């Protein structure tokens, strides 16, 4: 049975399921049967590039070819959704700036460390990373601190864009005018100010590879927004476990507005903020304030 009959090789249901499961094991993204046409359309580009005529042959390539790993990355590249923009979900960013940053700052100071580490897991082309750095800078709370915002993504294409730090109009659709001061006009578009860029670091990472995720070190806050919605439950649980391991105790996790940890992790506690909820890695018992009797 074939699923579609337009130009290019057709993806039968059996091959679709084999490819879908391979991609899922590799990067966590899961395509239900009714989105087979998306996989067919997007992967045709890969078949063309490799001079492969059928999806059956492509599946064999992904399993046995010496370049299989690199090709899985290329497949993930075309199958991921990279939509992002500056100041996405402003109410959540406000809670981050007004409530989470002061809490994290107080905790770092209690440890005698003027160091702040934030991780954007699945950062796409970098707008989220630079937004976080602009928010941190604008609080004025962290002058003289060692501040690092790490952005990781499985797509090398979006990381190249992130490092260029230069953006067109679509990235500014939710821009807050106050923060325009952090951009410089160039011929290619608006470029993030060097001071903000110097706080931000980008690296390639497949979140399903928990051993490689150790390169991130320990962080105070993780943003993993609009990434796990494309994953199946088991992969989501796996990545949440990695995120938990990378968070300092008392550190925060922020998910996208339509996402929750329900059914995925019981390790985190809920941090009730004024306009939002976040998740938190619990403090060790000994660090908790004494109970009032
Ligand atoms: C929709 S974008 C979200 C970007 C940003 N976090 C935001 O909310 O605006 C999802 C990003 O997750 C990345 N991604 C998907 N699976 C991944 C994986 N296994 N490891 C790392 N990044 C992944 C995609 O490449 C894509 O750039």
Domain spans of the chain, in order of start: 13-79, 90-287
Q: Which residues pair with 224 in a beta bridge?
A: 255
Residue-level pLDDT at 284:
81
Ligand 1-lining residues (CB < 6 angstroms) = 27-29, 80-84, 88, 122-124, 128, 153-155, 158, 205-208, 225-227, 256
**Which atom of ligand 1 lies nearest, measured to the CA of 81?**
1
pLDDT at residue number 253:
97
pLDDT tens sequence across 206-222: 999 999 999 999 999 99
- CATH topology for 13-79? Chemotaxis Receptor Methyltransferase Cher; domain 1 (1.10.155)
Check residue 120 and give its pLDDT. Answer: 98
Q: Contact at 8 Å (CB) between 59 and 22?
A: yes
Q: Per-residue confidence at 289, pLDDT binned at 50, 70, 90? A: low
Å from CA of 256 to ligand 1 middle? 11
Q: Residue 84 CA: which ligand 1 atom is closest?
A: 9
Q: Which fold has domain 90-287?
A: Rossmann fold (3.40.50)
Q: Identify the band that residue 1 occupies on the pLDDT scale cut at 50, 70 and 90.
A: very low
The pLDDT value recorded for residue 290 is: 65
Please give the model's pTM, rounded to 2 decimal places: 0.94
Q: Ligand 1 mean position to 123 CA, how many Å?
A: 6
- pLDDT tens digits for 74-103? 999 999 999 999 999 999 999 999 999 999
CB 249 within 8 A of CB 287: yes
Domains 13-79 and 90-287 belong to one CATH topology: no
* Catalytic residue numbers, as ranges: 42, 153
Q: How many angstroms is it from 112 CA to the middle of ligand 1?
A: 34
């Amino acid at each position: 049975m074939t699923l579609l009959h337009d130009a290019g090789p057709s993806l039968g249901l059996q091959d679709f399921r084999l490819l879908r499961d391979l991609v899922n094991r590799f990067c966590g993204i899961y395509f239900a049967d009714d989105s087979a046409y998306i996989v067919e359309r997007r992967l045709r580009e890969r078949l063309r590039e490799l001079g492969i005529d059928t999806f059956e042959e492509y599946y064999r390539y992904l399993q046995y070819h010496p370049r299989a790993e690199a090709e899985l990355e290329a497949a993930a590249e075309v199958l991921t959704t990279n939509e992002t923009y500056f100041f996405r979900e402003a109410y959540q960013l406000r809670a981050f700036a007004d409530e989470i940053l002061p809490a994290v700052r107080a905790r770092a100071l209690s440890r005698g460390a003027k160091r702040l580490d934030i991780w954007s897991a699945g950062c796409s082309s970098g707008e989220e990373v630079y937004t976080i750095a602009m928010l941190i800078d604008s609080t004025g709370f962290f002058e003289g601190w060692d501040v690092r915002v790490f952005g990781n993504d499985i797509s090398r294409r979006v990381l190249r864009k992130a490092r260029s730090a230069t953006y067109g109009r679509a990235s500014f659709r939710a821009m807050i005018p106050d923060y325009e001061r952090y951009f410089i006009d160039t011929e290619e578009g608006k470029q993030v100010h060097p001071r903000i860029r110097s706080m931000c670091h980008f690296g390639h990472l497949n979140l399903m590879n928990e051993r490689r995720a150790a390169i991130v070190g320990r962080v105070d806050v993780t943003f993993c927004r609009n990434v796990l919605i494309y994953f199946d439950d088991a992969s989501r649980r796996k990545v949440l476990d990695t995120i938990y391991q990378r968070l300092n105790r008392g550190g925060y996790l922020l998910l996208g507005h339509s996402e929750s940890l329900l059914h995925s992790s019981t390790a985190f506690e809920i941090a009730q903020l004024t306009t939002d909820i976040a998740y938190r890695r619990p403090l060790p018992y000994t660090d908790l304030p004494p109970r009032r009797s």
